[in-house]
Homo-oligomer: A and B are copies of this chain.
Amino acid sequence: MDITNYMHTIGRQARAAARAMARADGATRNRALLLIAAAIERDADRLRAANARDLDAARDNGLAPALLERLALSDKAITTMVDGLRQIVALPDPVGEMSNLKFRPSGIQVGQMRVPLGVIGIIYEARPNVTVDAAGLCIKSGNAAILRGGSEAIHCNRALAALVAEGLRGAGLPEQGVQVVDSVDRAAVGVLITMPEYVDVIVPRGGKGLIERLMREATVPMIKHLDGICHVYIDGKADIAKALPIAFNAKTHRYGTCNTMETLLVARDIAPTVLPQLAALYAAKEVELRADAQALALLDGYPRLAAATEDDWRAEYLAPILAVKVVDGIDAAIDHINTYSSKHTDAIVTEDYSDALRFLREVDSASVMVNASTRFADGFEYGLGAEIGISNDKLHARGPVGLEGLTSLKYVVFGHGEVRT
């Protein structure tokens, strides 16, 4: 069977299974999740063996160490997957929830019901834990899923797919409720993102190159984020005792994450006080600073200092590098952010009430924060229980996407025989 036929078959099966997944009650969906968790615990040895085959092949193919680390299924990773499934079980059932049922002058009562989106396609790198996390979130939210993980994880993903199928079957749900694409053909992705008749939304998780390709080619809507160019603005009225740890944490807690600060903005009034103190903190972590003219002067003598260019304001370094700019005040800060931010997460540090409210209101990003590190932009930290991804889009869902993002609201009408006159 060629890859197009294969993917269309997967799609048809997913569409059919989606009806049964949506119809199932919450107890049934939770039962499937618990059965999958138990099966993973039972078969941990087999999973490690499958993972070892993937790792051997990946090492032979010279996969980069960082990617090998993501591919590896450690004992801790298995425990985290299993715990993750049980945490999803404990979350409230989002499906079928009704809200705002109001009577109208005509006599009908109108409200909304939360319902699954249908079929979710998830495209991700060679990280076996994502297979289980994504399956768990889709099952809990009453959706069918088509999972396409990086080909380096194929043996482990196959083993996990069998356990997910076993759990679905055990709960009386269709095995096709979650399908793992069992092909390393890269063309599978191209088909998956162009079959809107079978797939309702694509959630791509991967590097910028993948996302840009999908944006050009996809005809299925996506919940995606392209990059994380996050800002911290230290206002003239900032409490320095808050500003220093926030600006330090937002940059250095982890360099490779999308909610890491990439540009620091500092109000002119406070820059002479705050920049030298921050420099001392960054120096200990060997952070390179790319500064505008005013900041350069204040950072004179810093060991890793360079003049910022226009490119620096648009850079997602994902590395111990930080762009630094002195701005006149909140207007200039908001203007810079709304021009250069990737609309992911931006924070202000201030004790000024009006500046705080203006920043919250006027910065057009998925997460906007006052006096907190940008690193908090995360489904777990926000209390969503789990996240399928982070959205930089403006429609449907912004920021961390949990179970609610995998559902939408339809209208329900309770009538008593009303007709329109």
Query: Chain A residues in contact with chain B, CB under 8 A?
Result: 19, 22-23, 96, 102, 104, 106, 108, 110, 113, 115, 117-118, 200-201, 221, 239, 241-242, 245-246, 248-250, 253, 338, 347, 360-362, 364-373, 375-377, 381-383, 393-400, 408-420
Contacts and interface: CB of A to CB of B under 8 A. Distances in A.
Given A110-B383, A201-B395, A383-B102, A365 B419 contact: no
A418 B362 contact: no
A104 B382 CA distance: 7
Given A366-B411, A416-B371, A419-B375, A361 B108 contact: no
A330 B354 CA distance: 57
Contacts of A399: 410-411
Nearest to A365: B410
Copies in the complex: 2
Nearest to A249: B419
A365 B108 CA distance: 18
Given A19-B362, A245-B419, 6 more contacts: A108-B376, A242-B417, A253-B419, A371-B417, A372-B413, A397-B408
B408 A367 contact: no
Given A253-B419, A399-B410, A415-B371, A364 B118 contact: yes
A413 B375 contact: no
Interface centre among A108, A221, A366, A411 (most CB of B within 10 A): A411
Contacts of A338: 19
5 contacts: A108-B381, A360-B412, A367-B410, A368-B411, A397-B408
